[in-house]
Structure 1
Amino acid sequence: MQNDAAAAAPPLPQPQHAVAPPFRPFGAKLESWTEWSRQFGFHLAAYRIQGNDRQPFLLAAVGVQTYRVIVKLFPRRDVATLSYEEILSALDAYFKESINVVAKRYTFFRTKRTAGQTNREWVATLQGLTRDCAFECECGLPYSDTMVRDAIAQNVSDVRIREQILKLVNPSLQQVMDILDRQDTLDFAQESFATSPPVCQVNRLARRAGCAKNYKAHLELKVNAQSKFFRARNVPHALRDEVAKTLHDLESQGVIERVQASLWASHLVILQKPSGKLRLCVDFKATVNPQLVTATFPLPRPEDLFDKVCPGKYFSKLDLADEYLQNTGGRRIPARFGG
């Protein structure tokens, strides 16, 4: 009974191939024949079009202009009798490009990174240009990666990147690209700092100098240090009242203190802030600074700082009022500020 039922059952439907959509016609002004034919081959493979079925698809897809070329290439044969391989081989020979290797290499070595282009995009452009540069040795092995590496070192606009590349002994293209990637990261961080909108409301505190906590500045005089005393310069009459008021404010805040006599005296430098108020500075260049033991400390480079803060999303900016006056000294050097 089971065998009879199986025999009576209708046959299962056979799987149907997907209907291939039309492929774009070949346009010599938009693409090369090699590019079009390779993509057309992928199109056929994607829809499982094989064997003799490929010929009508090719004739239907090439377009009117290319179809006329096929007719001219086979003047004594009917196009319908041609095989897919015959048509493709004839068109490959017809559209074969004569490449000027010297001109292509000239373009390759002159290609620099353009504005708005990332380093990765620039490298991809260089790698694409090597296709027609015939960078192959007599053994048949390509050396295009080496030429891309050399072109980067020659044309990179950032001198610091070039210096890093030239310090390496015969670096690989990947090593050079790692250097470029780090620079792209720094560029992104700098752009984020410059263009990021404010993410919080600014609270304006009292415009008065504070006091740094848990830190005291320490100045160490050299052995046999010689004190320097410079007479006060004349303060312009128009600024005398404002200078006196500023000095009084600093004294009342405990930033400076009045002394009756001192072996040290430096010139006062009067600057005007954008707000119109005065900023009083002291020129220690010829007095205290030469008598101090220099504290050498390597300042971090901007690249290292941006690399550390790059993963961050939100950034704050602190503007301290008279920040240089907020450090308290661990050792007092009596001084008189001359005008």
Structure 2
Amino acid sequence: MAQEENSTGRNGLIGKIQEFNFNISDWTIYKARLDNYFEANNITGVKRRAIFLNMLDEDSYRLMFDQCSPVKPEQKSYEQLLEIFDKHFAPVHTPFAERIKFYESERGPEESPNEWVARVRRLAIQCEFDNHLETVLRDKFICGFGKGLVLDRLLEEKITIYLADAVKIANHKMAALSSFGCKNGQGQDGQQDENPVKQEVTQTTEASSASSELGCAARPLPDAIRDLVEQEINRLVDVGILTPVSFSEWATPVVPIIKKNGDIRLCADFKVTINPHIQVDQYPIPRIEDLFGRLQGREQFTKLELSQAYQQIAVDEPSKSS
């Protein structure tokens, strides 16, 4: 149990100071509290050293004893003892590593604007933003809000808004929304349903009215790849791309392609079954010259690599029978 100096009362001292345990206490915070305690009670001179050493638990005192060796801690001044612990507990910070933590942080779902801005300030302590600190704090405070009505309201402000004003606006907006039962200050467009419905893009395959069902017999597979094809079919079923059926109006033979890494890409030969009968959307493919013309003068580009690109878009229910 940690020992404490008494609060204002029997001995007339103001406040209290807990025993220092370096395993659970933050030295920087403890030192600031200790200085305030001494100042509030007008404690000076050697009494500061005696009280400080007395408030160290056994492990902390042993650490101080070892740091002072070959002399004893009692032979050092109070200021010298503080300097010893300052050097020992000084955290090693690299500004860029701290900035990564700063920029990757986001406001928690239950965090109020005041709590969020306090955490933003704390994360910025070791980032060395210098003269840009207030601007960076303001930007992080605003951008750290999730999508919703509070963020929408903050985005209406001019770029010259001060951090204190942004915090005030966020508090007022969240209070107004909470009065209408909006959880965490988010409106309907910002709430996340416990069972969200994923938005899916589906492709409709329309066959001409004159077409009739067409099935094509399965093609023989080499024994060397038969197991690989079976494994790939099972995998596609497991991930929900293929659905097993006992009967289909259409039947298309598979075309297994062996990739460079030895895996199987499972394709289908639709040109002998449904392709001649579908109604194709006539959309002109852009010319490469037109595309390069649009990219002229641009500086940032994005390249998207889609695994199994032809399986990224699902077909709707009526088309699944095709």
- The normalised TM-score by structure 1 is 0.46
- The normalised TM-score by structure 2 is 0.48
